[in-house]
Amino acid sequence: MNSSLKLFSVRGIDIRVHLTFPLILVWAAFQFGVLGGGGLAGAMFGIISISLLFVLVTLHELGHSFAALHYGVPVERIVLLPIGGVAQLGHMPDNPKQEFVIALAGPAVNVALAILMGGAALLFGLSLTNPLTSGVSLTIGAIFSYIFFYNVILAVFNMIPAFPMDGGRVLRAVLAMRLDYGRSTQIAAGIGRTLALLFGIYGLFNGQFFSVLIAIFIFTGATQEARMVQFRQRLRGYTVQQAYSNQVPVLQPADSLREVVNWTARGQTDFPVAQFGTYVGFLGSERLMRALQHNGPDQSVASVMAKDVEPVTLTTDLFDVQQRFAREKLGALPVVEYGRIVGIISSRHIRHMLRMAAMRPELFPRVRSA
């Protein structure tokens, strides 16, 4: 989070630039000022035209973001990196139709802008020349051309059917409307990796450093997404009962953080809070650290605990638990039965259970849901 700087915010979404972002501006200045022989004017031109490109990238990411908000998916921030922008969503919807719309909304913004620019150019009799060949100029016509071509490039490039590009997500969503979600992800990721490999080899043989970088980005992105989905699919049918721990200290609202720290020294990191045995809140490790750092150890548990963490029950599916870990950025969740704390479940418990289930599947029967 500290690796980026906030520029401004739109509808509660922070637009941030990554600390490596100025590299692309330096590159553009060098490209047009030194290599292109444009001198100071060329360098300025490079910086302005690349900045313009990133304004369009931001609009593209806002397209994704507004579609996500429409479906109630929270958008945490948009980060601009030298190789493009990322809209960080609270979670990706598993609903293929929603993923389809969210993924398509970004490129749709660029298509709309390209049509608008092309139409306006026709109306005013401006000629749209390819800015990559027309050289250094910043006339009104050239700016129209830039916006037009950049939008076309952004739309086409992002619709390449390679995970984690928008085209790859659209492809997965379309497949998932007919096939199983996990299977669809494997297919889309396989296509993504193959295209990335071809693109990378092409870049390598043509000395295009940027293409190689993008190929690596796509390849690792496809691999990560496939692995994450596969992991979650493996959890389906297992319940909290099979993995949770009932050995957990339960805090009282009046306890001080000083007492909690004693427990952390014994390996406990996340704590349910109960009053007269009834669940009232949750104190996760991140929250505990932040409270200790800002206001010290003499605060009460009641003043720092999260009151909005919905507990899980013994029959909750582990797939849903894992989804909530990702969605709520928690490492553990409280387990209750009839409102009473019975334990805690963490990603460590889940991984441990999966390892044992792999060795002795007969000891961990899956509940077959419909």
Residues that bind Zn ion (CB under 5 A): 106, 158, 166
Tell me which H or E stretch contains 166. helix 166-176
Minimum distance from CB of 166 to Zn ion (Å)? 4
Q: How far is the CB of 58 from Zn ion (least distance, A)?
A: 11
Between 107 and 311, CB nearer to Zn ion: 107
Which of 106/272 has CB closer to Zn ion?
Answer: 106
Tell me how far, at minimum, the Cβ of 60 lies from Zn ion, in Å.
6
CB atoms within 10 A of CB 38: 18
For Zn ion, the closer of residues 145 and 158 by Cβ is: 158
Beta-carbon contacts of 189 under 8 Å, excluding residues fewer than 6 positions away, are 163, 168, 222, 223, 225, 226
Q: Which is nearer to Zn ion, 63 or 281 (CB)?
A: 63
CB of 87 to Zn ion, least distance (A): 7
In eight-state DSSP terms, residue 329 is T
Amino acid (1-letter code) at residue 357: A
Residues 6+ apart with CB under 8 A from 246: 342, 343
- Inter-CA distances, 207 with 26, 32, 82, 132, 212, Å: 20, 19, 19, 19, 9
CA distance 66 to 70: 6
Nearer to Zn ion, 136 or 155 (CB): 155
Least Å distance, CB 140 to Zn ion, is 28
195 vs 357, beta carbon nearer Zn ion? 195
The CB-of-98 to Zn ion minimum distance in angstroms stands at 15
Token readout for 189 is: 């990721």
Please, which residue, 85 or 281, has the CB nearer to Zn ion? 85
In whole angstroms, the minimum distance from the beta carbon of 158 to Zn ion comes to 5
Residue (106 or 334) nearer to Zn ion, CB = 106
Q: First and final CA of the chain: distance in angstroms? A: 41
- Write down the least CB distance from residue 92 to Zn ion, Å: 13
Nearest distance, CB of residue 61 and Zn ion, angstroms: 7
Contacts within 8 Å (CB) and 24+ apart, 227-231: 229/181, 229/182, 229/185, 230/182, 230/185, 230/186, 231/322
Rounded to an integer, what distance in angstroms lies between the CA atom of residue 144 and that of residue 150?
10
Contact 151, 56 (CB under 8 A): yes
Nearest CB to Zn ion, comparing residues 158 and 316: 158
Q: Which helix (H) or strand (E) holds 199?
A: helix 181-205
Q: Tell me which H or E stretch contains 29.
A: helix 22-30
Q: What residue is closest to Zn ion based on CB?
A: 106
Of the candidates 240, 212, 230, 209, the residue with the CA atom closest to the CA atom of residue 318: 240
Q: What is residue 164's three-state secondary structure? A: coil
